[in-house]
Structure 1
Amino acid sequence: MIGLVLAAGAGRRLRPYTDSLPKALVPVGPAGAEDSITVLDLTLGNFAEIGLTEVAVIVGYRKEAVYARKAALEEKYGLRLTLIDNDKAEEWNNAYSLWCGRDALKDGVILANGDTVHPVSVERTLLAARDEFKQIILAVDTVKSLGDEEMKVVVDPDMGVQRITKLMDPAEATGEYIGVTLIEGTAAEELIEALKTVWEKDPQQFYEHGYQELINVGFTIDAAPIGDVAWVEIDNHDDLARGREIACRY
């Protein structure tokens, strides 16, 4: 199993940081410390802590910044990084971006969005949930209050995830998918086809629509509750402030 990070996004709501950096490289250390750790640093540190040795990073917007830091990141975290170019990063959404990592999926991955600040307990929870019957396991927050923007899920205790979408009444949801997934290599072929179906239909779809595509044809996707854990998806400057509060704890 390897790590896989989606780091191709532009994050335009985080300007001026993202004028020259992809969102995954926006600093999440103390305000004013422009050379501090980033979401990518935190994710790579988590991967190293659980014993992974290889990580694929899907890059696109301002990818030269990731290429420039590749060697330093490898040395710092003791990982071998493979950078995968997404040629449509500034035009299409992340269903296509994850599809670009289709060869990595065949090895089995822990997937992390490049804008999610979270502790290593999330990865450990996913690993602890593995068994011979589960092929895709989503990290789900069942504690926090939900609004309209969250990627919400409905989970049946016996049948797994039934719905995953932002377009859901929060009152109907079991919780929020936080952007971290364990994907076994045995699920790769079907997930790759589902992602392709989704982005060919609408290039602006999220990769979570690929998960729903699988569910719709009878594929079981499981969920692992992460507990009462501090984490944040960084979309805007308010999220960034929250991310800085959280990052200093880890």
Structure 2
Amino acid sequence: MIGLVLAAGAGRRLRPYTDTLPKALVPVDGDKTILDLTLANFAEIGLTEVAIVVGYRKEAVYARKEELEATYGLKLILIDNDKAEEWNNAYSLWCAREVLKRGVLLANGDTVHPVSVERTLLDARGRGQKIILALDTVKQLADEEMKVVVEDGKGVRRITKLMDPAEATGEYIGLTLIEPEAAEELADALKATFERDPDLYYEDGYQELVNRGFTVDVAPIGDVSWVEIDNHDDLAKGREIACRY
């Protein structure tokens, strides 16, 4: 199993930082970026290789590749997303379809979180699950969150932002464990998703899988401080959180 980071997005709501950097390289703890924190987590759980999907301002990631490898003891594979500024991240994850065949721990490139989340996903393996989503069942939900409805014994039934928060079991936080056995079916679902609408999220690909009868499981992360960094308020919160880890 290897790590996988989606770091192709432009993050326009974080300008001026993202005038010259992809969102994943915005500093959150001194010189440490969101990407640094994720790579540190992956190294701490024993991964030795990480694929990073790059697109917007990808030259900044290429420039730091050797430094990041040396700092975290990881081999990095950079995967170019040629439509990063045109299409949403269902296509971005599909770009990594070959590495999905190795099994991955997927992390969004804008999620600040502790290594306990990765450990929770790894600990949840072993009962035949093929895809396991990290789920926050504690946080108070609103309209912007990626909300999930889970049914006992059947896994995820719905995953979308477009849902009454009161209906949701919890929020998907942007980390997924994907076993090799799920790779081909997931890639096909992602392709169907972005071909239907290039603006759709990879989570819509998960919904496509569910609609096809595929079981997508969840692992509750407990009462954990984390944040998805979309804007400057999120960045301020991310900086408060990052210094604790």
User: Which TM bucket (shorter chain)?
Assistant: over 0.9
Cα distance between partner residues in 2 of 1:68 and 1:130: 35
The one-character-per-residue Cα deviations of 1:162-196 (angstroms, maximum 9, x if unpaired) are 10000000000000000000000000000000000
Q: 2:126 aligns with which of 120, 131, 145?
A: 131
Cα distance between partner residues in 2 of 1:87 and 1:50: 31
Question: Does 1:181 pair with 2:176?
Answer: yes
Cα distance between partner residues in 2 of 1:243 and 1:179: 15
Percent sequence identity over aligned pairs? 78
Question: Does 1:18 pair with 2:18?
Answer: yes
Task: Give ranges in structure 1 of 5+ residues lacking alignment.
Answer: none
The residue aligned with 1:233 is 228
Amino acid at match of 1:17: Y
Cα distance between partner residues in 1 of 2:190 and 2:224: 29
Question: TM-score when scaled to structure 1?
Answer: 0.97
- 3-state DSSP of counterpart to 1:68: helix
Task: Give ranges in structure 2 of 5+ residues lacking alignment.
Answer: none
Amino acid at match of 1:59: V
Question: Does 1:243 pair with 2:235?
Answer: no
- 3-state DSSP of counterpart to 2:84: coil
Amino acid at match of 1:239: D
Cα distance between partner residues in 1 of 2:225 and 2:212: 34
TM-superposed deviation, 1:157: 1.7
TM-superposed deviation, 1:132: 4.2
Question: Does 1:219 pair with 2:176?
Answer: no
Aligned ranges 1:92-107 → 2 under 5 Å = 92-107=87-102
Aligned ranges 1:77-156 → 2 under 5 Å = 77-156=72-151
Cα distance between partner residues in 2 of 1:194 and 1:4: 18
Query: What value does the CA root-mean-square deviation take over the aligned residues?
Result: 0.5
The one-character-per-residue Cα deviations of 1:194-230 (angstroms, maximum 9, x if unpaired) are 0000001100000000000000010000000000000
- 3-state DSSP of counterpart to 2:3: strand
- 3-state DSSP of counterpart to 2:125: coil
The residue aligned with 2:205 is 210
Q: 1:53 aligns with which of 48, 55, 63?
A: 48
- 3-state DSSP of counterpart to 1:28: strand
Amino acid at match of 1:52: L
Q: Which runs of 4+ in 1 moved over 2 A?
A: none
Amino acid at match of 1:24: A
Cα distance between partner residues in 1 of 2:235 and 2:120: 25
Question: TM-score when scaled to structure 2?
Answer: 0.99
